[in-house]
Structure 1
Amino acid sequence: MYRRAALLAAGTLFAAAAPGFAQADDPQVNAQYRVFAHGFHVADASASYKLTPWGYGITTHLVAGGLLSILISMDVTSHAEGRFENGWVAPMNFGSGGYSRGKTRHVEVTYQNGAPVVTQLTPPENDRLPVPDDEKRNAIDTLSAMALLLNTIEQTGHCDGASRIFDGLRLTSMTVHGPIDAKVPEGSGEVFLGKSLRCDFVGQQIAGFIKDSSHLAEMKAPRKGSAWFQSMPGLGLVAVRIEFDHPKIGHMIAVLSRIPQKM
């Protein structure tokens, strides 16, 4: 369960960290984050990304860190590519793979006529209810959803929107509102403080549940969260902090640990 929550936090931050619009010849940008749960450092995350007016590409890497590295092994890499079309995103592919929950796992998703299609899932997760095709039609992946958020902010000045997110296993309904002017909270080793723009979101899993789960009511409950953005020279808006509540782990926080580097 730690892996799922940490991966969601990292995935959200990675895409949110991307600069609003890079020029075609701009290098990729690398950002580093630290993820905390209940005040303990549980994971380290990095992302290489690039956004252009016409598309995006993001690769992320998440490893167990701090307390979590003592308890379990986790090393997961994810990627997404897609295009911007008429104020929306058209994902091309999404994938995630590595060692987690005691096994090497891999999922790949491609998009056919706007619908996500799982082309690889190893090992099979037969204890989980499959997401019906009609429910995941027009769904996008987590990284594409956050690329959409940054594109919306840059184009309209707000982050209001809604989407369905499919990660190859689970389907989540996500709504986002804002931004509002807010100061970055302190208490998790934040490097970047002061004024920011805050976007608030609510995520709710709606399909892809474990069969006969005793935690079904908890997994179906809506979960609130927030992301704080600051403008950085040459990068545009960057997410410096994100937090949300996970049904099993509780409150989670991820913070940007240094100024993102162009590579």
Structure 2
Amino acid sequence: MTFKALVAGMALALMAGLGCSPARAEGQVNAAYAVYLKGFHVLNAQASYQLQPWGYGGSTQIKPAGLISWFVTMDVTSRVQGKFTPDGNVQPVLFDSGGISRGKHRHVRLEFSNDIPKVTDLQPPETDREPIPDSSLPHTVDTLSGMAHLLHALATTGKCDGTQIIFDGIRLSEMVVHGPTMADIPQGQDEAYSGQALRCDFIGRQLAGFVKDSPNRAKLASPQPGAVWFRKIDGLGLVPVRIEFNHPKLGRVMVVMQHAVAP
């Protein structure tokens, strides 16, 4: 089983909390999540983030869990730094992600200047992918900054409507978010929280950076729906307690919060 695209989606989803904790604007939040695929607990994820009025920073670490850990060696850490502009937009500074995945050490680093990302390191090179035109890169953001931008609106305006073009170093994707609505938190995977929460619905789809002659191109380019539930937790503010999304090849993915604390 390959987890590369799943890791990208996980990182994007977990950093939702960057935009949603105004009550602790100067505090750091640490959260732990379990990831389920087809009912099986396959990954553990740790997210640590901090929000300031002028910007954000955070990191995620993802490792295999349960029986999957017997067969898959994986340890991927991603981190992000960025700023919020006066009009509420996001201005990434740095995105760095690396570790062991699919049997190799992998690393991608993006540095931003004048709203344009530059890939300063990509190991190993992804030579089997269709190139992304340089003209498509201005005003794109990395996966973590994209979610910070789109969901920061939930804290500042009470809404999570927005569209962002995401560049992760090898793929170009679109993320469209709508909401929120009040909805019950689904149960069934040892959730830490139940009851009603704010739900933001989203649709993601890959636009470019496809593997050449991939038989899965049509699936990867098709819209993939998902949702994230936010619950107000004493001392932390609004925190993402559950995320669900469709992966075009792996199916439905569920991300369930185990606990969250402020150090």
Q: Residues 126, 90 of structure 1: CA spacing in aligned structure 2 closer, same or farther, 3 A cutoff?
A: same
SS at 2:22's partner residue?
A: coil
Q: Is the 8 A contact 1:59 1:80 kept in 2?
A: yes
Distance 1:22 1:90 in 2: 22
Q: Is 2:79 the partner of 1:43? A: no
Tell me which residue corresponds to 2:211.
210
Q: Is 2:125 the partner of 1:124? A: yes
How far residue 21 of structure 1 moved from its aligned partner, in angstroms, is 2.6
Distance 1:255 1:10 in 2: 11
Moved over 6 A (4+): none
Q: Is 2:138 the partner of 1:137? A: yes
Deviates more, 1:205-214 or 1:132-141: 132-141
How far residue 70 of structure 1 moved from its aligned partner, in angstroms, is 2.3
Q: Percent identity?
A: 48
C-alpha RMSD of the superposition: 1.4
Distance 1:233 1:91 in 2: 29
Q: Residues 195, 22 of structure 1: CA spacing in aligned structure 2 closer, same or farther, 3 A cutoff?
A: closer
Tell me which residue corresponds to 2:67.
67
Tell me which residue corresponds to 1:106.
107
Q: Is 2:11 the partner of 1:11? A: yes
Q: Is the 8 A contact 1:9 1:254 kept in 2?
A: no
Q: Is the 8 A contact 2:173 2:208 kept in 1?
A: yes
Distance 2:190 2:4 in 1: 23
Q: Is the 8 A contact 2:24 2:235 kept in 1?
A: no
Distance 1:13 1:165 in 2: 13
Distance 2:13 2:140 in 1: 19
Letter in structure 2 aligned against 1:187: G
Tell me which residue corresponds to 2:224.
223
How far residue 84 of structure 1 moved from its aligned partner, in angstroms, is 0.4
Tell me which residue corresponds to 2:194.
193
| Structure 1 segments unaligned to the other structure (5+ residues) | none
Distance 2:83 2:65 in 1: 33
How far residue 27 of structure 1 moved from its aligned partner, in angstroms, is 3.8
SS at 1:203's partner residue?
A: strand
Q: Is the 8 A contact 1:5 1:249 kept in 2?
A: no
Distance 2:5 2:156 in 1: 30
Q: Is the 8 A contact 1:2 1:249 kept in 2?
A: no
Deviates more, 1:223-232 or 1:147-156: 147-156
Distance 1:175 1:205 in 2: 12
Distance 1:154 1:228 in 2: 14
Distance 1:196 1:174 in 2: 22
Letter in structure 2 aligned against 1:219: L
Distance 2:37 2:258 in 1: 16
Letter in structure 1 aligned against 2:17: A
Letter in structure 1 aligned against 2:176: T
Distance 2:33 2:242 in 1: 9
How far residue 22 of structure 1 moved from its aligned partner, in angstroms, is 5.8
Tell me which residue corresponds to 1:253.
254
Residue correspondences, number: 261
How far residue 17 of structure 1 moved from its aligned partner, in angstroms, is 2.6
Letter in structure 2 aligned against 1:200: D
